[in-house]
């Protein structure tokens, strides 16, 4: 594979030589370091790379250059490289322009000159940017192959599981690819065997469950210890934050996740209002960083395990899995989050996974190249998805029940949506039916003041409501009528038959079962924001310490 390019741009020969030298000394083994002495010459270099299909991983440019500034050059660079990381080298006086460039040209980071010593000021930034680029461009994407049908619900689930767990794969579509049909024939597979997952070493997996798939890929699915200090059910922002803090403070910690780390936030294409990331970051990136951080401190992560019951066994709490396995812990944190509410209406249930999807991973947007996409919902998750789809789709139609976006969506997202020419917002509207023979072909819209009418549609993504995953808790853990978990003072005011059993008051995030805590979206009256979920996860560990000290 051709080495990816790092392009450095500066009109000052001394500065250009210095930045190129520093980058070459650390990254020259894996990247080509190419220089340009002006913005115009940099664009010529990028045009040549595009013509020769040479990947460009990073453009590091000075801001103050005659004829064309760094930001002006980067704004035109997107014509040649759609996915390179942008790094602006600037003086303190130009920081306002750099911050504006985050919105205007998708600047990833700006660095004040000078950057000495590079080991402290330059390399950590570039390591981060190149790490993100490498994650988006895995070199071994062809090792694992998935053969399936575009309109297969299980094929969609397998691809989503692999994507969200950062497992690179090659997708082969049975109705379009000759190679897909050849592989199915070689495996002697029938329609019920799809999707067929071909692993580099081992037998083909025929329509595997997530647990079977995780086991074949070497992902951890079984606990290593008989007893833990803390079992965290759910690997979203709240659960991952709790894992980091608990493990770093010496608690034997395990996280049980039924799908993939990140929860609903893990599917977000861009979280732009999370503290410390001015450019924003994807939910997948946030989850990946958090998992790595938790693992560094010794937390275990069990994947593809569905918790179906909670039991109290004296001082120990046990969680049981759907396959009859279980694990025990001295305390449990419920951070199982919420799932999107299902649309109701003729045809919608039958076409789930066949054109009707609930949530999406950021990478799915590229599958909608040149198509029309309908997005249902008016909260931040819907807005982020609409902006992501708009990068590829011919048109994105947002179907919003409310009277205005500002009622349910952050203003920065509203502004971005209104600035997109290919996003249309239909307020006071809903999807009431769907039609298709094997896959989605049309939906029925109901808009205030107009009779229901059908429109052609092959992509419908739904981001509405919040259904907490709490059925597994049983009657001992008090919940409200919608299933959200009561904690702290709300527990004491809850009606019988589950009164608080101890003389002390429940801790702030403690449920009606002592030693069982709840954090994040699953908790009653939580803020439904990533930052608040992370805060609650950290706070829960402090309360777990207090609980364990009393038992």
Residues of the chain with pLDDT > 70, as a percent, come to 98
The answer to whether residues 58 and 113 belong to one domain is yes
| pLDDT score for 140 | 55
Residue 217 lies in a domain: no
Q: What is the mean pLDDT of the chain?
A: 92
Q: How confident is residue 497, by pLDDT bands cut at 50, 70 and 90? A: low
Residue 348 lies in a domain: no
pLDDT at position 267 over 90: no
Q: Tens digit of pLDDT for each residue in 447-486?
A: 988 899 999 999 999 999 888 989 999 988 999 999 999 9
The answer to whether residues 301 and 415 belong to one domain is no
pLDDT at position 305 over 70: yes
Among the candidates 431, 462, 493, a domain finishes at: 462
The answer to whether residues 372 and 482 belong to one domain is no
- Alpha-helix residue ranges (DSSP H) falling in 261-303: 283-296
Among the candidates 462, 481, 516, a domain finishes at: 462
Beta strand spans in 19-115 (E): 32-36, 56-62, 85-90, 109-112
Residue 219 lies in a domain: no
Q: How confident is residue 528, by pLDDT bands cut at 50, 70 and 90? A: confident
Domain with residue 422: its CATH number is: 3.50.50.60
Taking residue 120's Cβ as centre, other Cβ atoms within 10 Å add up to 9
Q: Which domain holds residue 23?
A: 5-136
Residue 509 lies in a domain: yes
Domain with residue 165: its CATH number is: 3.40.30
Which candidate, 430, 432, 436, places its Cα nearest to that of 351?
436
Q: Tens digit of pLDDT for each residue in 92-130?
A: 888 888 998 998 899 999 999 889 899 999 999 999 999
Stated as kind and residue range, the H or E segment containing 100 is helix 95-104
The answer to whether residues 128 and 151 belong to one domain is no
Quick one: DSSP state of residue 304? S
Tokens of 395: 């048109």
Using an 8 Å Cβ cutoff, are 239 and 247 in contact? Answer: no
Buried (b) or exposed (e) across 298-334, using 16+ Cβ within 10 A? ebbbbbbbbbbebeeeeebbbbbbeeeeebbbbbbbb
Q: How confident is residue 16, by pLDDT bands cut at 50, 70 and 90? A: very high
Pairing verdict, β 145-148 and 109-112: unpaired
The answer to whether residues 517 and 443 belong to one domain is no
Among the candidates 79, 103, 136, a domain finishes at: 136
Q: Tens digit of pLDDT for each residue in 191-225?
A: 899 999 998 777 899 999 999 999 999 999 999 99
Count how many Cα atoms sit within 13 Å of the Cα of residue 264 in the half-sphere of its side chain. 30
Residue 160 lies in a domain: yes
Residue 369 lies in a domain: yes
The answer to whether residues 126 and 36 belong to one domain is yes
Using an 8 Å Cβ cutoff, are 510 and 217 in contact? Answer: no
Q: How far apart are CA 261 and CA 22, in angstroms?
A: 36
The answer to whether residues 453 and 473 belong to one domain is no
Q: How far apart are CA 23 and CA 6, in angstroms?
A: 8
Which strands, in side-by-side order, build the sheet including 395-399? 356-358, 460-462, 372-376, 395-399, 423-426
Which of helix, strand or coil describes residue 29? coil
The answer to whether residues 249 and 286 belong to one domain is yes
Q: How far apart are CA 112 and CA 229, in angstroms?
A: 45
Domain with residue 118: its CATH number is: 3.40.50.2300
| pLDDT score for 362 | 78
| pLDDT score for 245 | 98
pLDDT at position 30 over 90: yes
The answer to whether residues 125 and 239 belong to one domain is no
Residue 347 lies in a domain: no
Which of helix, strand or coil describes residue 154? helix
Residue 343 lies in a domain: no
Total domains in the fold of the chain = 4
| pLDDT score for 493 | 83
| pLDDT score for 507 | 97
Q: How confident is residue 273, by pLDDT bands cut at 50, 70 and 90? A: confident
> Is pLDDT larger for residue 281 or for residue 549?
549
| pLDDT, mean of residues 137-162 | 84
Q: How confident is residue 498, by pLDDT bands cut at 50, 70 and 90? A: low
The answer to whether residues 26 and 113 belong to one domain is yes
Least confident piece of the model among 240-254, 321-335, 347-361, 491-505: 491-505
Residues 231/232/234/236 CA torsion (nearest 10 deg): -150
The answer to whether residues 392 and 489 belong to one domain is no
pLDDT at position 431 over 80: yes
The answer to whether residues 403 and 297 belong to one domain is no
Which candidate, 336, 279, 286, places its Cα nearest to that of 307?
336
């Amino acid at each position: 594979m051709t080495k990816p390019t790092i392009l450095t741009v500066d009109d000052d020969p001394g500065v250009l030589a210095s930045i190129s030298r520093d980058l070459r000394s650390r990254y020259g083994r894996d990247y080509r370091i190419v220089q340009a002495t002006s913005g115009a010459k940099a664009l010529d270099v990028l045009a040549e790379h595009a013509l020769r299909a040479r990947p460009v991983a990073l453009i590091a440019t000075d801001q103050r250059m005659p004829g064309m500034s760094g930001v002006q050059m980067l704004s035109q660079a997107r014509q040649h490289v759609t996915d390179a990381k942008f790094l602006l080298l600037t003086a303190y006086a130009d920081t306002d322009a750099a911050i504006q460039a985050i919105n205007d040209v998708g600047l990833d980071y700006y660095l004040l000159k000078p950057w000495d010593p590079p080991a402290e000021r330059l390399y950590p930034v570039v390591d981060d940017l190149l790490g993100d680029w490498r994650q988006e461009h895995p070199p071994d994407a062809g090792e694992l192959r998935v053969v399936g049908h575009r309109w297969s619900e299980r094929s969609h689930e397998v691809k989503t599981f692999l994507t969200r767990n950062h497992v690179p794969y090659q997708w082969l579509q049975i109705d379009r690819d000759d190679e897909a049909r050849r592989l199915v024939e070689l495996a002697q597979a029938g329609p019920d065997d799809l999707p067929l997952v071909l692993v580099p070493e081992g037998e083909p997996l025929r329509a595997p469950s997530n647990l079977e798939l995780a086991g074949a890929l070497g992902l951890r699915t079984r606990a290593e210890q008989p007893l833990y200090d803390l079992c965290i059910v759910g690997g979203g922002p709240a659960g991952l934050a709790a894992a980091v803090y608990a493990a770093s403070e010496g608690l034997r910690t395990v996280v049980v996740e039924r799908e993939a780390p990140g929860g609903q936030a893990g599917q977000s294409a861009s979280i732009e209002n999370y503290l410390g990331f001015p450019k924003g970051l994807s939910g997948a990136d946030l989850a990946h960083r958090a998992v790595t951080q938790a693992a560094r401190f010794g937390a275990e992560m069990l994947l593809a395990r569905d918790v179906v019951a909670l039991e109290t066994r004296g001082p120990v709490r046990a969680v049981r899995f759907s396959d009859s396995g279980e694990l025990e812990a001295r305390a449990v944190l419920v951070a199982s989050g919420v799932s999107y509410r299902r649309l109701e209406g003729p045809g919608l249930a039958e076409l789930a996974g066949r054109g009707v999807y609930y949530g999406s991973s950021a990478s799915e947007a590229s599958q909608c190249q040149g198509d029309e996409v309908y997005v249902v919902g008016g909260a931040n998750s819907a807005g982020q998805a609409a902006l992501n789809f708009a990068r590829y789709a011919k048109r994105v139609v947002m179907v919003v029940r409310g009277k205005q976006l500002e009622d349910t969506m952050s203003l920065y997202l509203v502004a971005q949506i209104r600035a997109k020419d290919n996003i249309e917002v239909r307020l006071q509207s809903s999807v009431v039916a769907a039609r298709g023979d094997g896959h989605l072909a049309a939906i029925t819209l109901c808009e205030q003041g107009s009779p229901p009418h059908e429109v052609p549609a092959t992509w419908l993504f739904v981001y509405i409501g919040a259904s907490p995953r709490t059925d597994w808790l049983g009657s001992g853990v008090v919940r409200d009528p919608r299933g959200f978990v009561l904690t702290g003072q709300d527990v004491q005011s809850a009606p019988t038959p589950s009164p608080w059993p101890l003389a002390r008051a429940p801790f702030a995030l403690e449920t009606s079962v002592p030693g069982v805590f709840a954090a994040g979206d699953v908790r009653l009256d939580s803020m439904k924001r990533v930052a608040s979920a992370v805060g609650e996860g950290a706070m829960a560990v402090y309360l777990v310490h207090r609980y364990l000290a009393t038992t």
